[in-house]
């Protein structure tokens, strides 16, 4: 036996070595291939000239031709007669860069004012290499001039110092969540949902999260209401993409957003407590932006040109119907669902809507949204189309399809044959946006209104939705949220697979990353009374909405959710896989215990908490904001007299620094600003993440600009127009705080993807 064991163990290294040699040979072949490619092209394989490609950078080698695509859409006649050449030429041009101003409305107006009065004015008369720069223009159909498009390329942005400043402004404000790079047509579906603050909203296929951010903004349209009655549940089937979604959504710091991880076609039906009874949660608004073939994104995703084939649409059609059906099942009667794709193909568009309307037996109706976005140019939906295989074979009716094709082509892919039924559907109310009409991408959108319960949800023929008992026996995929059904890889949209980013450092499990629990504070939790007393919270503060992410040990961070999301969490913990929810409002500060409270305020949740805080508030002026955000640790004497006197009356510890607008001073910001701070022995410090710090400095007239070498002509690290004092210290301090914050999170036992606020020892302790 000993000899047998020895011989078997001796063989293992040889097998291992042979595998290593095999891998090594593969690496040598790849290197040889790269050298050959470099010899042919004069540059390494994969090194593309981004400047030459404008906004479609990185795809300059791809030939923008696809004869099958042209033949298909010529035959379908979705483009008006005489416009097809213009349509194709526009499809070959790079997509204009489009930005949307995000955030709450008062701050959005300040950012818009800065853009229009400073950056856009500087750009409009600028010439680069003898070429006059076209100034950015607002999208005519987007409300309040909060969305703009420009043809500026990366190459042009790099050539002019003024444009470089504009570019840095865009990057910085994007990172702080105040501006989003979002394709123009992608902004349409949330606008057509007509969101109100009390609406319960489901975003079925939410990643990467641009539309989700729009939904959150609409909920918070009134900045004076910290907890709107409505909420957004954002779902995505891909676990990794859910973290990208969290990153996008968390920039708005809302307590009304929850990110979940499910297959949209079988997303669980949720329960809530309604007047002491368990009831089914139906949504007032649903965004159903389904996976699609993405041929409307050819201007942005250039590789679609060579990958496009009709089989993509045929594969996705069934999944799109299943997701849409699951959506209308969970839509409240009287509710509104927007179905959208970035595809021009009627198999993914009108065919899905027609199948949905036919299944509903009158419960659904296509809404006329023609007047909802004045200025938007679009083509009405078509009522006649054909189906083509990837080999180019056409079928006008299901009866023509041979039996051998029945697994690829389904009856729902064809328009209804009954003329009366087709007319009643009013498919012309669908909206198809063509790229050449307004220099955009291609898009399809349809607005559905639910008039009655779906036929299969009417027990015993009644008009009520199925009771809770009727949904208890759901399929395993619905009842077991830890095992989300994953669609066939062939059904994944090419345009939906480009935005994945690495997930945070969490332990990977079989079906995704293991999330920490969501634990609400109990009525008698001993950590809360000191917080209540220290900040003198008002009696109506909803402390039952405060949660933490650990069952055991010290609570490091406290988060808040709205009352309605708390209801959802408590009643569905076993039914859904929650990735993230809530906004961080307090962080543990061990040194602060000696001052009366172990928790300091977190900048992320400052606007959620401030309506309830009645103590430890210092009112500051514009000049005070400049001092606090440009100097690392200013003495109290550097503040103006009013703020200085208020600060002297406060004990050491966490504070709120509040700026209130002066209607008489139109040059100052006309919106309130709340900053987290720390009152030290003789000084005051603001604790604001770096990008937000730059944002607030711009609001008060101080611009921080870094050139390509990170220095000014005089050798300093930063350039500030209006104030240069302690700018280098600002940058170094902010970077240090970010680094220490990352280390704290990675080394801690409790984790949350929302935990990105800088945390440092100097922040947590008394400041001299």
Among 546, 511, 552, 510, smallest CA distance to 531 is for: 546
Expressed in percent and rounded to 5, the helix, strand and coil fractions of the chain are 40, 15, 40
The answer to whether the annotation marks 236 as part of a ligand binding site is yes
- CA-atom Rg of the chain in angstroms: 29
Q: CA neighbours within 13 Å on the CB side: how many for 530?
A: 14
The answer to whether the annotation marks 210 as part of a ligand binding site is yes
Residue 289: strand, helix, or coil = strand
The answer to whether the annotation marks 289 as part of a ligand binding site is yes
Question: 750 vs 178, 446, 551, 587, CA distance in Å?
Answer: 29, 43, 10, 12
**How is the beta sheet containing 546-548 ordered, strand by strand?**
519-520, 546-548, 557-560, 583-588, 599-601
**Secondary structure string (H, E, C) spanning 523-570:** CCCCCHHHHHHHHCECCCCCHHHEEECCCCCCCCEEEECCHHHHHHHH
520 touches 591 (CB < 8 A): no
- 342 catalytic per annotation: yes
Phi, psi (rounded to 5 degrees) for 427: -65, -15
The one catalytic residue among 342, 496, 597, 763: 342
* DSSP secondary structure letter of residue 621: -
Residue 275 CA to residue 678 CA, distance in Å, equals 43
643 touches 627 (CB < 8 A): no
Burial class (CB in 10 A: 0-12, 13-18, 19+), 186: buried
The answer to whether the annotation marks 207 as part of a ligand binding site is yes
First-to-final CA distance of the chain: 73
Among 674, 651, 660, 685, smallest CA distance to 536 is for: 651
Residue spans of alpha helices (H) in 251-343: 304-307, 310-329
459 touches 467 (CB < 8 A): yes
Residue 295 CA to residue 304 CA, distance in Å, equals 7
Burial class (CB in 10 A: 0-12, 13-18, 19+), 64: middle
The answer to whether the annotation marks 208 as part of a ligand binding site is yes
Task: Give the count of beta carbons closer than 10 Å to the beta carbon of residue 60.
Answer: 14
Residue 458: strand, helix, or coil = coil
Residue spans of alpha helices (H) in 42-160: 67-76, 84-92, 105-114, 120-124, 154-159
The answer to whether the annotation marks 205 as part of a ligand binding site is yes
Among 581, 693, 709, 606, smallest CA distance to 175 is for: 693
* DSSP secondary structure letter of residue 119: I
Residue 758 CA to residue 223 CA, distance in Å, equals 25
Task: Give the count of beta carbons closer than 10 Å to the beta carbon of residue 131.
Answer: 9
Residue 180 CA to residue 99 CA, distance in Å, equals 6
Question: 412 vs 79, 337, 386, 387, CA distance in Å?
Answer: 23, 20, 12, 11
DSSP track, 692-745: HHHHHHHHTT-EEE--TTS--TTS-S-EEES--TTHHHHHHHHHHHHHHHHHHH
Residue 513 CA to residue 569 CA, distance in Å, equals 19
Residue 653: strand, helix, or coil = strand
Residue 297: strand, helix, or coil = helix
Which residues are identified as catalytic?
Answer: 342
From the annotation, which residues make up the binding site for S-adenosyl-L-methionine?
205-211, 236, 263, 289
From the annotation, which residues make up the binding site?
205-211, 236, 263, 289
């Amino acid at each position: 036996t000993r000899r047998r064991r020895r011989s078997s163990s001796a063989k293992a290294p040889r097998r291992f070595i042979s595998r290593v040699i095999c891998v090594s040979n593969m690496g040598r072949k790849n290197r040889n291939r790269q050298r050959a490619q470099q010899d042919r092209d004069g540059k390494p394989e994969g090194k593309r000239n981004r400047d030459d490609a404008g906004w479609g950078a990185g795809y300059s080698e791809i030939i923008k031709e696809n004869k099958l695509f042209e033949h298909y859409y010529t035959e379908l006649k979705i483009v008006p007669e005489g416009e097809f050449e213009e349509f194709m030429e526009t499809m070959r041009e790079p997509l204009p860069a489009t930005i949307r101003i995000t955030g709450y409305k008062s701050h959005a107006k300040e950012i818009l004012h800065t853009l229009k009065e400073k950056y856009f004015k500087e750009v409009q008369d600028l010439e680069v290499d003898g070429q006059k720069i076209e100034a950015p223009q607002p999208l005519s159909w987007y409300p309040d001039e909060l969305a703009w498009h420009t043809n500026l390329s990366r190459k042009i942005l790099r050539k002019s110092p003024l444009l470089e400043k504009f570019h840095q402004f865009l990057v910085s404000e994007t990172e702080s969540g105040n501006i989003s790079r979002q394709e123009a047509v992608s902004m349409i579906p949330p606008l057509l949902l007509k969101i109100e603050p009390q609406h319960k909203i489901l975003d079925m296929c939410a990643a990467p999260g641009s539309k989700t951010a729009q939904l959150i903004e609409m909920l918070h349209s009134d900045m004076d209401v910290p907890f709107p009655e409505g909420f957004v549940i954002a779902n995505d089937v891909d676990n990794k993409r859910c973290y990208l979604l969290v990153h996008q959504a968390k920039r708005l710091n809302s307590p009304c957003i929850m990110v979940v991880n499910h297959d949209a076609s079988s997303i669980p039906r949720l329960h809530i407590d309604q007047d002491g009874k368990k009831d089914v949660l139906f949504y007032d608004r649903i965004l159903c932006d389904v996976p699609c073939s993405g041929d409307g994104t050819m201007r942005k995703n250039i590789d679609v040109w060579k990958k496009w084939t009709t089989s993509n649409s045929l594969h996705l059609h069934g999944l799109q119907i299943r997701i849409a059906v699951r959506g209308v099942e969970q839509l409240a009667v009287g509710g509104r669902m927007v179905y959208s794709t970035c595809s021009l193909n009627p198999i993914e568009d009108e065919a899905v809507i027609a199948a949905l309307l036919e299944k509903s037996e009158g419960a659904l109706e296509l809404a006329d949204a023609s007047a909802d976005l004045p200025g938007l140019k679009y083509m009405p939906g078509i009522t006649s189309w054909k189906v083509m295989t990837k080999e180019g074979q056409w079928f006008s009716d299901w009866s023509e399809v041979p039996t051998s094709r029945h697994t690829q082509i389904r009856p729902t892919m064809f328009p209804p044959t009954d003329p009366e039924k087709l007319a009643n559907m009013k498919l012309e109310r669908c909206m198809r946006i063509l790229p050449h009409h307004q220099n955009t991408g291609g898009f399809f959108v349809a607005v559905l209104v639910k008039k009655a319960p779906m036929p299969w949800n009417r027990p015993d023929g009644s008009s009520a939705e199925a009771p809770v008992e009727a949904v208890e026996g759901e399929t395993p995929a619905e009842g077991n949220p830890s095992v989300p059904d994953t669609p066939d890889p062939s059904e994944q949209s090419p345009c939906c697979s480009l935005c994945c980013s690495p997930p945070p450092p969490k332990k990977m499990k079989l079906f995704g990353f293991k999330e920490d629990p969501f634990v609400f504070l109990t009525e008698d939790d001993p950590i809360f009374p000191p917080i209540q007393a220290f900040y003198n919270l008002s009696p109506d503060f909803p402390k039952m909405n405060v949660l933490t992410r650990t069952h055991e040990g010290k609570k490091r961070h406290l988060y808040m959710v709205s009352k309605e999301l708390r209801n959802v969490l408590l009643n569905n913990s076993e039914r859904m896989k929650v990735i993230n929810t809530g906004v961080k409002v307090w962080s543990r500060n061990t040194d602060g215990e000696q001052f009366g409270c172990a928790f300091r305020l977190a900048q992320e949740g400052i606007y959620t908490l401030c309506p309830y805080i009645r103590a430890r508030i210092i009112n500051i002026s514009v000049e005070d904001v400049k001092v606090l955000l440009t100097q690392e640790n200013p003495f109290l004497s550097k503040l103006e007299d009013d703020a200085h006197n208020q600060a002297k009356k406060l004990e050491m510890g966490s504070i709120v620094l509040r700026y209130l607008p002066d209607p008489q001073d139109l040059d100052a910001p006309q919106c309130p600003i709340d900053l987290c701070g720390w009152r030290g022995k003789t000084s005051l410090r603001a604790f604001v993440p770096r990008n937000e710090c730059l944002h607030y400095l711009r609001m008060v007239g101080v611009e921080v600009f870094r050139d390509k070498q990170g220095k000014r002509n005089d050798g300093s690290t930063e350039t500030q127009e209006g104030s240069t004092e302690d700018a280098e210290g600002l940058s170094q301090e902010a970077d240090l705080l970010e680094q220490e914050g990352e280390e704290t999170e990675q080394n801690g036992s409790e984790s949350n993807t929302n935990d990105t606020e800088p945390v440092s020892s100097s922040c947590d302790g008394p400041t001299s």
